[in-house]
């Protein structure tokens, strides 16, 4: 099989990015992750990324796919232009909203210090923190900044509230000071790129990799009912203690980077997938944004992308497959779901793009190059109508709603996971 030139790019990225550091005596497992993005204005919703933070506490709630007795956090300043001073950090089990359960607040230390400075273009891993958390348990991470941070490395769409307060409220369990959240329900995550756990046996992680339909746009705000959440719940119900990590970015492209939608899926694969602790399987759902958008105009740019062809999309998928197999990681291809709607435009351009989607799905299903296939298209459109049925999308015939997300999660064969 001909090796695409994109493989060489991934090999270069892999060589310069180190794996997550390990603590002596601990076998760490990823329990939650968010793919980091450069600070920018979002065309969809307001964020705090461009302004950053100054003498403020930032409170973020995340749901762990697997629990443990000890945890640690990973903070990223990968897109920072200057060193980031984190004056203080805490973690505790979540109560409701911005409230933390009493007696669960723990100080997060870095090299035994209560504060740390993360260089520009770097990341930091905290010391271990004893804090028992159950599978699918929520934890609240609060960071305090006593000086301007500058623009913040972040993840644009969290489908969860993030809270901000003036001054140092990192040890507050009461939510009274955390009155600022933008926008309610959709939110973003800032600096925090991972939570890892140890203290109990855990199987290798499953990483879900894709665009907004993996990131969870269309899910219920603050309810954690994206498709990776539904997959995590399926594994728990099957008695499998196994992390499911969501490394998707909304509006991300397989082949082209963007000013506000992240580096291309090919370029960020090593950092966001293969560098996760104990990764065993990755599920790839990618290429829709390449098909639907020809440029970066949503981010204010004028640069056209190289025209997308079926061969270029296949080469991109082959690059991910080759990189995963080089690290002995199992890789599953997910077919792309329909994007048209009943009575919608049947103009030649729409038909051309939809045919490209169908052709890519045929390659994913029949080429045998992926280790297995999760047929999201047939799961959500079993009658082959070419649309996502009413009741399964958020209203746009493109993004599933919670029922739609549960439906595609059910298309993943648990036996196919490594």
Domain identity same for 176 and 245: no
Kindly state whether residue 145 falls inside one of the protein's structural domains: yes
Tell me the average pLDDT across 228-254: 96
Domain identity same for 386 and 308: yes
Tell me the average pLDDT across 61-82: 97
Domain identity same for 406 and 388: yes
Calculate ∠ Cα 33-38-44, nearest 5°. Answer: 90
Question: What domain range includes position 73?
Answer: 34-195
Domain identity same for 11 and 118: no
The band of 282, judged by pLDDT with boundaries at 50, 70 and 90, is very high
Domain identity same for 235 and 330: yes
Domain boundary among the residues 195, 212, 239 is at 195
Domain identity same for 243 and 187: no
Domain identity same for 161 and 239: no
Q: What is the DSSP letter of 414?
A: G
Q: What is the DSSP letter of 299?
A: G
The band of 98, judged by pLDDT with boundaries at 50, 70 and 90, is very high
Domain identity same for 58 and 188: yes
Domain boundary among the residues 195, 211, 227 is at 195
Give yes or no for a contact between 30 and 72, defined as CB atoms under 8 angstroms apart.
no
Burial profile 368-383: b = 16 or more Cβ within 10 angstroms, e = fewer: ebbbbbbbbbbbbbee
Domain identity same for 146 and 244: no
Give me the DSSP letters along 136-150: T-EEEEEEEESS---
d(CA 318, CA 335): 15
d(CA 204, CA 280): 5
The total domain count for the chain is: 2
d(CA 399, CA 388): 9
The mean-pLDDT minimum among 22-31, 160-169, 214-223, 244-253 falls in: 22-31
Kindly state whether residue 28 falls inside one of the protein's structural domains: no
Domain identity same for 258 and 400: yes
Kindly state whether residue 118 falls inside one of the protein's structural domains: yes
**What proportion of the chain, given as a percentage, has pLDDT over 70?**
93
pLDDT of residue 231: 98
How many helices (H) does the chain have, and how many strands (E)? 9, 19
Domain identity same for 187 and 215: no
**What proportion of the chain, given as a percentage, has pLDDT over 90?**
85
pLDDT of residue 26: 61
pLDDT at 15 over 60: no
**400-to-125, 331, 392 alpha-carbon distances in Å:** 35, 23, 6
Is residue 192 reached through a cis peptide bond, with omega within 30 degrees of 0 on the bond before it? no
Q: List the CATH number of the domain containing 214.
A: 3.40.50.1110
Kindly state whether residue 21 falls inside one of the protein's structural domains: no
Domain identity same for 312 and 163: no
């Amino acid at each position: 099989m001909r090796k695409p030139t994109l493989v060489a790019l991934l090999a270069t990225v892999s060589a310069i990015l180190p794996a997550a550091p390990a603590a002596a005596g601990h076998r760490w497992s990823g329990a939650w992750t968010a793919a980091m993005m450069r600070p920018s204005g979002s065309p969809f919703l307001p964020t705090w990324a461009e302004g950053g933070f100054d003498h403020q506490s930032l409170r973020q709630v995340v749901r762990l796919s697997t629990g443990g007795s000890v945890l640690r956090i990973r903070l990223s300043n990968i897109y920072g232009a200057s060193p980031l001073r984190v004056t203080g950090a805490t973690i505790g089990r979540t109560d409701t909203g911005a409230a933390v359960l009493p007696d669960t607040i723990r100080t997060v230390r870095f090299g035994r210090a209560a504060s740390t400075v993360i260089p520009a273009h770097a990341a930091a891993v905290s010391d271990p923190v004893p804090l028992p958390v159950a599978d699918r348990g929520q934890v609240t991470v609060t960071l305090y900044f006593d000086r301007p941070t500058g623009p913040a490395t972040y993840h644009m769409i969290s489908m969860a509230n993030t809270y901000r307060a003036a001054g140092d409220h990192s040890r507050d369990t009461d939510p009274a000071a955390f009155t600022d959240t933008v926008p309610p329900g959709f939110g973003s995550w800032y600096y925090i790129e991972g939570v890892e756990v140890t203290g109990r046996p855990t199987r290798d992680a499953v990483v879900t990799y894709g665009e907004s339909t993996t990131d969870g746009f269309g899910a219920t705000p603050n309810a954690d009912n994206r498709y990776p959440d539904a997959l995590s719940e399926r594994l728990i119900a099957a008695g499998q203690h196994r992390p499911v990590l969501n490394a998707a970015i909304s509006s991300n492209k397989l082949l082209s980077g963007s000013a506000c939608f992240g580096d291309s899926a090919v370029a960020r694969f090593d950092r966001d997938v293969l560098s996760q602790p104990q990764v065993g399987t990755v599920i790839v759902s990618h290429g829709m944004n390449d098909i639907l958008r020809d440029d970066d105009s949503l981010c204010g740019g004028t640069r056209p992308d190289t025209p997308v062809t079926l061969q270029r999309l296949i080469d991109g998928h082959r690059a991910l497959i080759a990189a995963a197999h080089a690290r002995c990681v199992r890789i599953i291809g997910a077919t792309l779901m329909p994007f048209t709607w009943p009575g919608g435009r049947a103009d030649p351009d729409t038909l051309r793009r939809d045919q490209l989607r169908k052709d890519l799905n045929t390659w994913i299903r029949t080429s045998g190059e992926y280790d297995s296939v999760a047929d999201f298209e047939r799961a959500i459109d079993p009658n082959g109508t070419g649309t996502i049925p009413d009741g399964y999308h958020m209203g746009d015939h493109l993004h599933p709603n919670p029922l739609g997300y549960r439906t595609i999660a059910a298309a993943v064969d648990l036996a196919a996971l490594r």
